[in-house]
Structure 1
């Protein structure tokens, strides 16, 4: 297989992973009972329309509200503004071109984006690894416990494609080429802030390096040109991070429309870092909770300092650090956290660096498949333990 063209190798690996996920989803669908979205034992395509897939379909059908829906007490209710427009907009555009409906097009677009992302992942991993290790890295990502989401009508596969492409362009110094990708990515998923932090950190590092070189011998100007291109990308990344909240403001006339919509899901005002402490105290008490949160933060720092992780290269490592900081500051810990960790995909290659033997790597693939089944059974399937609610995937 390693003698075959690399695109074929990558596509076959990803196709095998998606076939396994499809089998697991079909098995789960056959056991699905009564639920809010489809009849019992729904078919495959109907089963994929659970949870946030319904919100994306609503955007596809209706667009976004010009007036925020509110409860009797004036608080903003859950609505479409929490979901970014690129994925449903792409599906809508393809519908206008082909006449094919959402239930077929949406999972098809998600799956195709997943295959395209796998190709870009491989090229990104090649910057730090040999071809065989890069292929294993793709395999690890393709069978992650949350990887079924890459064929479900969510924006994750589209965002993974754009994020991997943006990281590759930045890592190879093609800053201007990354600008349109980053701007589009700002309408795919709410990860523009950590990417802007990453690019700004790279700009500061390069600017400091240029400042130190001023006292040295004359340069050929290439370094100054690269710094200028990186400055353009930094401004573009900042604009991308603000683009969707600004759009919500422009359409609704309310400056914090996006923020209020997001907080409608958590039921409280945004308080950076506090939700993690609250979750820790709820689980482990007033002493054990903060200690566990601090230990987790220290563990993340130590993880990023490990040699296998540092071997990934500056851009992937700094991206992971920026994204973890973003989650610590703004994410409300819940069962969706497993899915939200998907952008940390570069760490899959670090796992390949740690696990050298083929049998051990195959064992990891097997465990990941088992955890996929757990994720589908416990989180994707509708299994309310009481009342009419369930934990979201």
Structure 2
């Protein structure tokens, strides 16, 4: 009976073994699938981590760029604010300077004489025995229509080195030239003296300057505008001499008051626009027909009586060859602007153009300046 059961037991064991084998194979397959899934998940996790790292990196870089950009913006704003503050400060300084200059150089109607216009120009000296260079610019006696005329006048002398420049003419024109030149100036009743020399004394018509520690010079200005004689002469009127004689006393009195403003022992230069010719230019030998008369024009003669000498005529012997005309209108050509010197030795003098004033439109007056060099004994 027991033997009879063995085949069934063996079959059952065989079946059991086969079943277990199949289950083992199934488990092994499942394990392999799980391992494969695990590997896939690990790969996916690695990709996800790499993507996250890249995203974090990109975000970090973007944040750094935003921070850098913000810092640059803030720095740019700070620089802009600083520049704007500097510009405001400069603008305020310019406005303050303009206000100060306006205070120092008020409109013509508010000017009183003498008036100092001090822009802080460096002070110069003239060594003993050296020449004193001066320049007289007779400007128009009518106010200019444009500031550009003053600009051409200033430009015409910009390359000249003269420690003393006299201006005569309409005070509007004088003031505008002074304003554009921006050099220490004393405005006077007859015009102005632009100078880099030290000014020690002022009066309505003259100033006293130091050449050096030992020498001084008085600089005076006279501007006696009067066209009545010229107009009568141009009209071929026989009354011009009568008119001249009638206006001379008052004009001579004014000129003498200016000429004798300082001490007679002081070396003195008087720059003048007299609107009257010199008697030295009028004589019977003159090549200019209307001058062929020995007419004693009184103002230049009166200056000689006060020991003042006509600098241009002293350095140019003949009016025929060296006319020195400073006023030209049509056929009328005359020296009406003068540098008179007392107790100074004239070395040289010349006539020079004054910007557009020496080449005016047809029919207008042409004016010329005088440059001269002196030795102060």
With a CA cutoff of 8 Å and minimum separation of 6, indicate the structure with the bigger relative contact order.
1
**Structure ID, larger Rg:** 2
Higher normalized helix content (fraction of residues): 1
| Structure that is richer in strand per residue | 2
TM-score clears 0.5:
no
What is the TM-score with the length of structure 1 in the denominator?
A: 0.27
> TM-score w.r.t. structure 2 length?
0.27
